Structure 1
Amino acid sequence: MDIILIAGMWLDATAWHEVVPELERLGHRPVALTLPGQGDGDTAATYDDQVATIVSAVDAADGPVVVVGHSAACALAWVAADARPEKVARVVLVGGMPNADGETYFGFFEPVDGVVAFPGWEPFEGPDSDDMSAELKARVARGAVAVPAAVTRGVVRLHDERRYEVPVTMVCPEFTPEQAREWVEGGDVPELARARQVDYVDIDSGHWPMHTRPRELARLLADLS
């Protein structure tokens, strides 16, 4: 099965470079995306451009696909299910949750000079990054891409309630499955509260398991496909 991989803010397709060969070895067809404005050099890219790229990747697959979103890109993975509910077999959310209709895609950091640059590791101290070595942090920071404000300030639009029939798996890195279930069942994640099936899977990592637990993450994704 095709597995579409969408990395979170500041990351391009190379974030999955250790996950991809393991998924291939396990018999799947991983498609790691570099999104407009997030590694392709397009400084004028918008949120809608990113959505269009993801939907095009879903359309290009021969059959049903699994769409994997990491961190902020969990919102993009959910938008793919909304746009193509008949073709997305499962949405996998790694370390993040979908936005509701009408919400700003990524409003956690204010743009400066038209972009949201990687803010350094200070905002992610603690469970998010405790499993990353200083060398790994330096490598990830060197490869981080400043994301255009027109991406981060895009407005999420959802149209098709058939998305709630698409099975969802939450992969829980720096938080536990119990915490995630509590957030969903408590109404903090309205989109998932309405989903027909939400499964919760633990992974012993911080916020970036594609870097710190790539083989484990690949095996987990393969088992869901």
Structure 2
Amino acid sequence: MPEGRDLILVHGAWHGGWAWDAVVPLLESAGHQPIATELPLRGPGGAPATLDEHARVVGAALADARAGAVVVAHSYAGLVVQQALALGVEAELEHIVYVDAWLGWDGDSILGLAPPALASFWRDQHADGWLPAPTPEQLGVTDPEQSAWLTPRLVPQPWATFTDPLKGVPDRHTDGPSASAIVMAPGNGVPFADFATGHGLPITWMTSGHDAMLTHPDELAKLILDRW
């Protein structure tokens, strides 16, 4: 991997830019400039944020990046990056790494892509425009110290980000930057591998829970740096 790239890190639902705290110094030590984006909880008018608003935040980060930048998208951020690219971001990207990420097609939403039982659970849980955060254990974080650190940092997710459909997204990653996927095993019931395969992406498997950036930062950083 050539040195000195901007690595745009996009966190998943219920998280913040802090999710990459353990990965950032590892990427920096390899000579790169990691940039952890922050997806806002609320839009400019104060209402819970939408998928398009998150996509525009990421699009701005990509547009500001140096040529040859790499994007790393975790979980929900897969759809955010897809939508950002569909909006016509002016950026010269080298590669996109989707980490246990949701990936859809035009008209898809997370709620529509989710296994029926999970979608039903989320519908029952959401209220007043927000979806409560899961427990650390549901994210694959079982170490007591890590769980205690993570619990107060998780925040409710804007419900619209799970129901808003993708718009203008191509069927496959046939144009633009190359892309690949890192998928966790044994998995949490969400078909992340199927999403990646459906978009023609090569998959690297990793033995970890969903929040690998917290539980296995060294291994995840190495896989990110080896992706292209």
TM-score bracket for the superposition, by shorter chain length: 0.7 to 0.9
- Give the one of 83, 97, 105 matched to 2:102: 97
Shift of 1:119: 3.1
Normalised TM-score (structure 2) = 0.78
Instruction: Quote the residue 2:157 is aligned against.
Output: 147
Q: Match for 2:148: what amino acid? A: A
Alignment partners' CA distance in 2, 1:95 and 1:84: 23
- The 1:26/1:98 distance shift into structure 2, 3 A limit, reads same
SS at 2:82's partner residue?
helix
What does 1:105-124 correspond to in 2, within 5 Å? 105-106=110-111, 108=119, 109-110=122-123, 111-121=126-136, 124=138
Q: Match for 1:99: what amino acid? A: G
Instruction: Quote the residue 2:181 is aligned against.
Output: 170
What does 1:28-107 correspond to in 2, within 5 Å? 28-37=32-41, 43-82=47-86, 83-84=88-89, 87-106=92-111
SS at 1:67's partner residue?
strand
Q: Quick check: 1:4 aligned with 2:8?
A: yes
Shift of 1:143: 0.5
Alignment partners' CA distance in 1, 2:202 and 2:172: 18
Alignment partners' CA distance in 1, 2:134 and 2:199: 34
SS at 1:221's partner residue?
helix
Gaps spanning 5+ residues in structure 1: where? none
Alignment partners' CA distance in 2, 1:205 and 1:30: 22
- The 1:85/1:57 distance shift into structure 2, 3 A limit, reads closer
Instruction: Quote the residue 2:220 is aligned against.
Output: 217
Alignment partners' CA distance in 1, 2:108 and 2:25: 35
Which piece of structure 1 moves more, 144-153 or 76-85? Answer: 76-85
Alignment partners' CA distance in 1, 2:208 and 2:170: 34
State the number of aligned residues: 207
Aligned residues of 2:98 and 2:180 also touching (Cα < 8 A): yes
Normalised TM-score (structure 1) = 0.79
SS at 1:76's partner residue?
helix
Q: Which runs of 4+ in 1 moved over 6 A?
A: none
SS at 1:224's partner residue?
coil
Aligned residues of 1:19 and 1:215 also touching (Cα < 8 A): yes
Aligned residues of 1:85 and 1:163 also touching (Cα < 8 A): no
Shift of 1:175: 4.1
Identity %: 27
SS at 1:142's partner residue?
helix
Q: Quick check: 1:138 aligned with 2:161?
A: no
Alignment partners' CA distance in 2, 1:103 and 1:222: 30
Shift of 1:138: 2.8
Alpha-carbon RMSD: 2.8
- Give the one of 196, 200, 218 matched to 2:203: 200
Shift of 1:218: 1.3
Aligned residues of 1:85 and 1:162 also touching (Cα < 8 A): no
Shift of 1:105: 3.6
Deviations 1:141-163 (A, max 9, x none): 21001112232222211245784
Alignment partners' CA distance in 2, 1:52 and 1:106: 21
Alignment partners' CA distance in 1, 2:53 and 2:30: 31
Q: Match for 1:172: what amino acid? A: V
